[in-house]
Every structure is written in structure tokens, then in C-alpha cells.
A and B are shown apart, each in its own frame.
Chain A
């Protein structure tokens, strides 16, 4: 159904730096939010489909490729002492794709002591002595080749991951899951982190583009071409 009474925000426009034509920004706040949630979605909402699809294809591919390179372990949110995941601040720029990491972190350190569906997907690494639910402990022992049931000590109602050894004893196993990931993935942990960080940071530019149009100012010659 055609719109006969456009909202005031629909009249917001930007000027193309290339030919001086006007670019409808629709509702810039909504467009920016959409572009944060899914790269390029805000541009598609504004009718700039080609750019939207270009952003979507480029950034989603980069993020997913980085996540795959890092064995699905490189995107997680952790603010525990000893492991503050600053990289996640950049990764969060990708929007929806990074939201599961926040949920998993909140679930693992919260009262549930286990990620959603006891799935390790985007869950932060466990640290020595960290309590988890029996269901998550069993799941990790079943699917992670570097972790077995002996790695958990029952401390009802929780299971404690690789508790500190008694005085005088030495535990030669890695003290935390992050060390296991680094040892298993090698350089791909850092490369995957870099890919996902870059995708998130570049999406901030995409959000800005949805908010206010192209960053490059229109030149006088572009205005002349339009006239």
C-alpha cells in the first residue's frame, strides 16, 4: 500500500559524493540499529540494496570464516579475573552474531553455571577451580578430547573444573580451557580472533553509513553534475 503521509524522518537525505544525487536515509536510527544487528540490513531498509548486500556478504563472510578458523572458540565474552576478553569489544560490533557470546557468558558465571543448552558454542573458557553444572561437565567430557570426567571434582551441587592440587602435588595439565584451545588451534586462534575483530570494527563504519550516508563529502563538481 503506498504511503501518502511520510513521517518527518523519511525526508532525511544525504548527498552522494559521486554525482550529487540525494540518498534517502529513511529513519536513520532504525537503519543504524538494523545495520548493527545484521551488517548491511540498514542500507537495504533504506533502499540502498547493492551496498547493503555488499556489506552483508563481505562482513558476514569475514566473521564466519574467522569463527571457523578459530574452531568456533574465538568469540566469547569473559570478564573474569585473569581473562578479560578485550577482543570481544571489537567483535561485538558485528551485532546479532556476537550476542550468543554475551548470553553464554552470563549463563556460565550466573546461577545456572552452564551455558544455554549446556552447549560450549561461544561459551567462555573454564578456569581452574571454576564450578559448573553436572550437565555441562558431562557434555564437555563427552565432546572435548582434552577433557574427561576426571577433570571435574564433585562439589555438590556443582562440579569443579581441574581443582587446585593438594599442597606438594604438581598438576602438569593445562590449568584452564583457554590454554587447551591455544595448544590445539595454534596460530589459528589469533588469526580467527583477528578476522572476527576486524569484521566487528568495520561494521561500525557500516552503521555510521546507515546513520548519515557516505562519509566522503559531496564536492562542488558532484553538485554541478547533478544540476
Chain B
């Protein structure tokens, strides 16, 4: 078995990742930073992170659905 360098393998895999999936880490990052800049207690940061993921995911999901619907109707 030929062992490919890890970087090459990851680069080959990432080509097959759907574009929308790249939004997930961004939503997660934004939610963590929003939560941590609004709270100090770790438990409160965790709870607020989940809340922000819901808000950001919901808003972006709604925009996505609206754009998809417009594309479908066009």
C-alpha cells in the first residue's frame, strides 16, 4: 500500500466537500466568539454558543431556503 502524504490526502478529500459544508465551521467560530465576548462564565459561554448557533444557522438557513425557492421559481 502506498502511503500518501497527509497534506495531499486532505487536499484530495477537500475537493469533494460540498461548498455549503464550509459554512459550518464559520458559523461555529462566529457563535463561539459572539458568546465568549458577551459572557465570562464557561457554562454561560457554552449555553450562549448553542443559542448563537441556533440564531446564525436559522437566519442563514432561511436565506438559503429563500434563494433556493427563488431559483426554483425562476
Contacts and interface: CB of A to CB of B under 8 A. Distances in A.
Contact of B14 (A16, A69, A195): A69
Contacts, number: 68
B33 A58 contact: yes
A18 interface: yes
Interface in B11-39: 14, 19, 22, 25-26, 29-30, 32-34, 36-39
Which 4 A-B residue pairs are closest in the complex by CB-CB distance? A18-B41, A216-B38, A16-B40, A18-B44
A17 B38 contact: yes
Interface stretch (A74-82, A137-145, A161-169, A197-205): A197-205
Interface stretch (A116-124, A171-179, A207-215): A207-215
Nearest to B31: A58
Interface in A173-199: 187, 191, 194-195, 198-199
Interface of A is mostly: helix
A65 interface: yes
A51 interface: yes
Contact of A205 (B19, B37, B39, B41): B37
B42 interface: yes
Contact of A195 (B19, B26, B32): B26
Nearest to B19: A187
Interface size classification for chain A: 20 to 34
A62 B41 contact: no
A40 B24 CA distance: 22
20 contacts: A17-B38, A23-B40, A48-B40, A50-B42, A54-B45, A55-B33, A58-B32, A58-B33, A59-B33, A65-B25, A198-B29, A198-B30, A202-B33, A205-B37, A206-B33, A208-B37, A209-B37, A214-B38, A215-B37, A216-B39
Nearest to B40: A16
A19 interface: yes
B29 A215 contact: no
Contact of A199 (B29, B43, B44): B29
Given A208-B37, A209-B37, A198 B26 contact: yes
Nearest to B14: A69
B33 A205 contact: yes
B25 A62 contact: yes
- With a 10 A CB-CB cut-off, give which of B19, B22, B34, B42 has the most chain A CB atoms: B22
Contacts of B40: 16-19, 21, 23, 48, 51, 213-214
Contacts of B25: 62, 65, 195
A191 B14 CA distance: 12
A214 B37 contact: yes
